[in-house]
Chains A and B, each alone.
Chain A
Amino acid sequence: MIAPGRLEGVLRKGDFAVTAECGPPRGADPETIRRKGELLKGSVDAVNVTDNQTAVVRMSSMAGCLILEEMGFDVVLQMTVRDRNRIALQSDILGAAALGIRNVLCLTGDHQSFGDHPGARNVHDIDSIQLIDTVRTMRDEGRFISGDEIKGRPELFIGCAANPFADPFDIRALRLAKKVRAGAQFVQTQCVFNVEKFSRWMDMVRDLGLHEKVFILAGITPMKSPGMARYMKNSVPGMDVPDSLVERITSVPKERYREEGVEICLETIERVRAVRGVCGIHIMAIEWEDIVPEIVKRAGLRPG
Chain B
Amino acid sequence: MIVADRKPFDEIMGMIEPYKKILLVGCNECATVCAVGGTKEVALLASQIRMKSQGEGRLVEVDEKTLERQCDPEYARTLAGTLEDYDAVLSIACGCGIQFIAETFPERKVLPGVNTRFMGVTEEHGVWAERCQGCGSCILDRTCGICPVTRCAKSIMNGPCGGSQDGQCELRNDIPCAWQLIIDRLKARGELDRYGEIEKPKDWSTSRDGGPRKRVREDMKL
Contact = CB atoms under 8 A, between A and B. Distances in A.
Interface string B138-182: 000000000000000111111111111111001100000100100
B160 A130 contact: no
A122 interface: yes
Contacts of B196: 174, 177-178, 181
Interface residues of A, number: 34
A221 interface: no
Contact of A108 (B161, B171, B183, B199): B161
Most A CB within 10 A of own CB, among B155, B157, B161, B167: B161
A125 B153 CA distance: 13
Interface string A97-117: 000000000001111010000
A130 B200 contact: yes
A86 B209 CA distance: 13
Given A167-B165, A167-B167, A237-B163, A124 B156 contact: yes
A279 B112 CA distance: 60
B155 to A, nearest CB: 5
Contacts of A174: 195-196
Contacts of A110: 163, 170
A163 B159 CA distance: 12
B180 A163 contact: no
B211 interface: no
Given A167-B165, A238-B170, A129 B158 contact: yes
B159 A127 contact: yes
A183 to B, nearest CB: 10
Interface residues of B, number: 30
Contacts of A168: 160, 164, 180, 183-184
B165 A130 contact: no
Nearest to B155: A124
A59 interface: no
A171 B183 contact: yes
A133 B198 contact: yes
Contact of A167 (B164, B199, B201): B164
A127 B156 contact: yes
A54 B196 CA distance: 29
A245 interface: no
A166 B154 contact: no
A130 B162 contact: no
A149 to B, nearest CB: 18
Interface in B9-42: none
A167 B192 CA distance: 15
Contacts of B192: 171
A238 B167 CA distance: 12
Given A86-B201, A130-B157, A130-B200, A171 B171 contact: no
A181 B180 CA distance: 21
Contacts of A125: 201, 204
Nearest to A81: B154
Contact of B198 (A129, A190, A237): A129
A130 B198 CA distance: 8
Nearest to A161: B162
A156 B163 CA distance: 27
Interface string B190-209: 00100110111110100000
A127 B157 contact: yes
Given A129-B158, A171-B195, A178-B158, A111 B183 contact: no
A67 interface: no
Interface of A: 82, 86, 108-111, 113, 122, 124-130, 133-134, 145, 161-163, 166-168, 171, 174-175, 177-178, 181-182, 190, 237-238
14 contacts: A86-B201, A110-B170, A113-B171, A124-B155, A127-B157, A162-B162, A163-B162, A167-B160, A167-B180, A168-B180, A175-B160, A178-B198, A181-B196, A237-B162
Given A86-B201, A128-B161, A162-B162, 8 more contacts: A82-B154, A126-B157, A130-B200, A134-B201, A166-B160, A166-B162, A167-B164, A237-B162
